[in-house]
Amino acid sequence: MTPRGRSDEPVAAADLAAVEAQLGRPPRGTHAVGHRCPCGLPDTVVTEPRLPDGTPFPTTFYLTCPRAASLIGTLEGSGLMREMEGRLASDDALATSYDAAHRAYLAARAELGDVPEIANVSAGGMPDRVKCLHALAGHALAAGPGVNPLGDEVLDLLGAWWAEGPCVSPAADATPPSVDRSRDHDG
């Protein structure tokens, strides 16, 4: 598994170009690189809680890697979210850890600014639902192991998504691979 933990690196022009290639559109409100894939490209960015156009944006840790996003979409389609949510209802220790992940997410976003419209709203369904594995994985990558238990599980299920090399060319004019992002609720 890839080493994890928030880097909060300044966003260089090359990083923004790579993220644009990954997303197939310009990124919005990027504050920092939240985590780098072992290939060297960003795979998660830290997004401002208010986008440049004034829109509140609760997804602080935004997964950008199309390869990881595609694999996560397959996991979502498998019924994994329903299974995880069932475990949340019956496993008090898991529910407590997931609630702590929610609070950690809110604390990290609060470091970036206060946006009353999204107060107490984290991402991925936290603290009591599971609605977006992409958001949970992005949080787990940026926060590091042990912070988001369900995000950690998602990353463990993905395997070495980076093993084939970079998902996009780091060149500014790179074209991202064709990936169905319709299930990616990160933005």
**pLDDT tens-place string over residues 84-116:** 999 999 999 999 999 999 999 999 999 999 999
Grade residue 33 by pLDDT with cuts at 50, 70 and 90.
very high
Q: Which domain holds residue 104?
A: 13-158
The pLDDT score that the predictor gives to residue 169 is 85
The pLDDT score that the predictor gives to residue 174 is 42
Q: Is residue 186 part of a domain?
A: no
Minimal CA–CA distance to 32: which of 55, 58, 61?
Answer: 61
In percent, the amount of the chain with pLDDT more than 70 equals 85
Q: Is residue 166 part of a domain?
A: no
Please say if the pLDDT value at position 72 is more than 90.
Answer: yes
Q: Is residue 184 part of a domain?
A: no
- The predicted-structure confidence for 4-15, as pLDDT tens digits, reads as follows 555 566 689 999
Q: How many domains does the chain have?
A: 1
Q: Is residue 67 part of a domain?
A: yes
Q: Is residue 106 part of a domain?
A: yes
The pLDDT score that the predictor gives to residue 149 is 98
Q: Is residue 167 part of a domain?
A: no
Distance CA 95, CA 130 (A): 11
The pLDDT score that the predictor gives to residue 183 is 34
**All residues at 6 or more sequence positions from 117 whose CB lies less than 8 Å from its CB, including other chains:** 56
- The predicted-structure confidence for 14-26, as pLDDT tens digits, reads as follows 999 999 999 999 9
Distances (CA, A) of 54 to 19, 48, 104, 105, 117: 21, 10, 24, 21, 11
Query: Cβ distance 30 to 59 under 8 Å?
Result: no
Q: Is residue 76 part of a domain?
A: yes
Q: Is residue 21 part of a domain?
A: yes
- The predicted-structure confidence for 116-159, as pLDDT tens digits, reads as follows 999 999 999 999 999 999 999 999 999 999 999 999 999 999 99
Helix (H) or strand (E) holding 165: none
Please say if the pLDDT value at position 172 is more than 60.
Answer: no
